[in-house]
Amino acid sequence: MPSLRFPSLALIFAISGPIAAWAQAVQAPQAAPPASFAAEQKAANATDGPRRTPPRSFPVPTEEVSPEMRKLIALPFPPHMDAAPKSAAEWTELVDRRAKLAIAALPAMKEKLKVDVQPAVIGGVKAFIVTPRTIPRANRDRLLVHVHGGGYVFGPGEAALPEAILLAGFGGYKVISVDYRMPPDAPYPAAMDDAMAVWKAATKMAKPRNMAIFGTSTGGAMTLAMVLRAKAEKLPLPAAIAPGTPWSDIAKIGDSYATNEWVDNVLVSWDGWLGRAALLYANGHDLKDPQLSPIYGDFHGFPPTILTSGTRDLFLSNTVRTHRKLRRAGVVADLNVYEGQSHGQYGGDMNAPETKEAFTDIAKFFDRHLGR
């Protein structure tokens, strides 16, 4: 089967570019800087304060990176990177346009990964049940809850499903994917209310010690916020969680918001559609509210956690800060960082070895920490 690029995970990976451009990016030689370059940079950074860098280009990495992933790394910025919808209708048009790209990829994904998808209503909330056609014996009493990414605006309906399909297929787990409400019609706290309603209902379908919650980007932030809220409401906690490259600080706070700006070819910059979506979702609430930015919550008592990011990820600092805070709270926490990858690209091509590796790692982590 040919390699497919599809808008998986955060629903922002449907970006395309000619293969010729990819080949040129990979093969372009990097000219050596002139002899005066080091002296100039030394002078520019001779005092305390922010680091100043010259204009640079970043070659596509070749070592420890598969050809499939190199294609994703080499792609141009997505056309919606600087989208600025000015009305609910304009937001809806953008969201629907992105969703069509994701939905078009689903039949091939379901067939290759051998999973079936059924719509459902769980806890009064729309959801999908993703079931592998063959479930390993060890996983038959296990259940995962998935919260999708997409900046709290992308991924309605079936467009939310790629990541759930990847983990169900590569991991052999039955997955409930939450089709939570989103802006512009339903800002915060609608998404969290829906996710928690599904979680409460799901804990009646399986034992919490046999359950995990996972999601990428927005879904990673919601995974963390769900645990915070479950703790506050004295609800059962999952046995493990996998917040991939979580949007754990929804404001523009964190080193990689600066260092990876214009390098990440998925999110590109907070000062585009991303920041506008953050403010739309927050709807006037404090961006440091732990239900919006879970990095400001109390991580003591969290279940074992596996986090995933990439060296070019705009949210690398979100991920690193979350990992360190979990470890400081005494939580078992693994961190996987992939060479050269921008935001969530470990899920951008189901045929890339890194995608299978990432989701197999998550599945193995769950296997170690979930009951049977």
- What's the pLDDT tens digit per position in 318-349? 999 999 999 999 999 999 999 999 999 999 99
What is the distance between the alpha carbons of residues 160 and 218, in angstroms, rounded to a whole number?
12
Is the confidence at residue 65, as pLDDT, over 70?
A: yes
Q: Which residue did the predictor score with more confidence, 35 or 336?
A: 336
Which helix (H) or strand (E) segment holds residue 96: the answer is helix 88-113
- Retrieve residue 342's tokens: 């921008």
Q: Provide the pLDDT confidence category of residue 30 given band limits of 50, 70 and 90.
A: low
Residue 213 pairs in a beta bridge with: 145, 241
Is the confidence at residue 243, as pLDDT, over 60?
A: yes
Q: What would the mean pLDDT of 8-35 be, rounded to a whole number? A: 46
How many CB atoms are located within 10 Å of the residue 19 CB? Answer: 9
- Residue found under tokens 């927005």: 218
**Strand-pair category, 175-178 with 143-147:** parallel
For residue 264, what are the contacts with CB-CB under 8 A and spacing of at least 6?
312, 313, 314, 342, 343
- Retrieve residue 296's tokens: 């400001």
Q: Give the residue from 102, 110, 144 showing the smallest Cα distance to 127.
A: 144
Is the confidence at residue 168, as pLDDT, over 90?
A: yes
How many CB atoms are located within 10 Å of the residue 361 CB? Answer: 18
Is the confidence at residue 97, as pLDDT, over 60?
A: yes
Q: What would the mean pLDDT of 260-273 be, rounded to a whole number? A: 96
Q: What would the mean pLDDT of 179-193 be, rounded to a whole number? A: 97
- Compute the mean pLDDT over every residue in the chain, rounded to the nearest whole number: 92
Q: Exposure string (b/e) for 324-358, b if CB count within 10 Å is 16 or more?
A: ebbeeeebebbbbbbebbbbbbbbbbbebebbbeb
Tell how far CA 240 is from the center of its chain: 17
Cβ proximity of 10 and 344 under 8 Å = yes
Q: Give the residue from 262, 285, 278 showing the smallest Cα distance to 342.
A: 262
- Retrieve residue 316's tokens: 């690398």
pTM: predicted TM-score of the whole model, two decimal places? 0.90
User: Helix, strand, or coil here: 118?
Assistant: strand
In the prediction, which pLDDT does 162 show?
97
C-alpha pair distances (Å), 98 with each of 6, 123, 148, 158:
11, 27, 14, 12
Give the pLDDT confidence of 347-358 residue by residue, as tens digits. Answer: 999 999 999 999
- Torsion sign over Cα 192, 15, 269, 23: positive
What is the distance between the alpha carbons of residues 188 and 169, in angstroms, rounded to a whole number?
31
Cα within 13 Å of Cα(94), Cβ side: 25
Q: What would the mean pLDDT of 91-107 be, rounded to a whole number? A: 95
Q: Provide the pLDDT confidence category of residue 41 given band limits of 50, 70 and 90.
A: confident
What is the distance between the alpha carbons of residues 234 and 215, in angstroms, rounded to a whole number?
22
Cβ proximity of 78 and 268 under 8 Å = yes
In the prediction, which pLDDT does 325 show?
98
Q: Give the residue from 184, 224, 210, 168 showing the smallest Cα distance to 362.
A: 168
What is the distance between the alpha carbons of residues 341 and 345, in angstroms, rounded to a whole number?
6
What is the distance between the alpha carbons of residues 17 and 23, in angstroms, rounded to a whole number?
11
In the prediction, which pLDDT does 10 show?
37
